[in-house]
Amino acid sequence: MSDKEKTKLEAYADGQTMQKRQSPKRKKSNKQESVRKKVKTTRQKKEQPRPAVILEHFTDKIEEEYNVIFKPNVGPQTDFLAASEREVLYGGSAGGGKSYAMLADPLRYMGNPAFSGLLLRHTTEELRELITKSQEMYPKIWPGIKWSERKMQWTAPSGAKLWLSYLDKDQDVTRYQGLAFSWIGFDELTQWATPFAWSYMRSRLRSADPDLPLSMRATTNPGGRGHHWVKKMFIDPAPAGKSYIATDIETGEQLKYPAGHEKAGRPLFKRRFIPARLKDNPYLSQHGDYEAMLLSLPEQQRRQLLDGDWDIKEGAAFTEFERKIHVVEPFDIPNNWVKFRSCDYGYGSYTGVLWFAVSPSEQLVVYRELYVSKVLAVDLADMVLELEAGDGNMRYGVLDSSLWHKRGDTGPSLAEQMIMRGCRWRPSDRSKGSRVAGKNEIHRRLQVDEFTEEARLVFFNTCTETISQLPAIPLDKKNPEDVDTHSEDHLYDALRYGIMSRPRFSIWDFDSRGTPANSMPIADSKFGY
Contacts of 523 (CB under 8 A, 6+ apart): 426, 427, 529
Nearest alpha-carbon partner for 459 in 473, 441, 446, 443? 446
Name the CA dihedral angle for 317, 319, 323, 325, rounded to a multiple of 10 degrees.
Answer: -120
Architecture in CATH for domain 323-527: 2-Layer Sandwich (3.30)
Report H helices in 327-478: 377-387, 414-420, 434-446, 464-469
Local mean pLDDT, 10-residue blocks, the chain (529 residues): 48 39 44 47 42 41 57 78 93 71 91 95 89 92 93 95 91 87 94 89 90 92 82 88 90 89 93 79 55 56 56 68 88 90 87 93 93 91 92 88 73 88 89 86 88 89 87 78 79 92 59 42 38
Question: What per-residue confidence (pLDDT) applies to 406?
Answer: 63
Helix (H) or strand (E) holding 495: helix 490-499
Would you list the domain boundaries of the chain? 1-15+49-68, 76-305, 323-527
Question: What per-residue confidence (pLDDT) applies to 165?
Answer: 94
Architecture in CATH for domain 76-305: 3-Layer(aba) Sandwich (3.40)
Sheet holding 116-121, edge to edge: 146-148, 153-155, 161-166, 116-121, 183-187, 215-220, 87-92, 270-276, 244-245
Do the domains at 76-305 and 323-527 have one common CATH topology? no
* DSSP bridge pairs for 87: 216, 271
Pairwise CA distance, residues 472 & 313, whole Å: 6
Total-model pTM: 0.55
Question: What per-residue confidence (pLDDT) applies to 149?
Answer: 94
Question: What per-residue confidence (pLDDT) applies to 18?
Answer: 35
Contact 152, 164 (CB under 8 A): yes
Question: What per-residue confidence (pLDDT) applies to 288?
Answer: 55
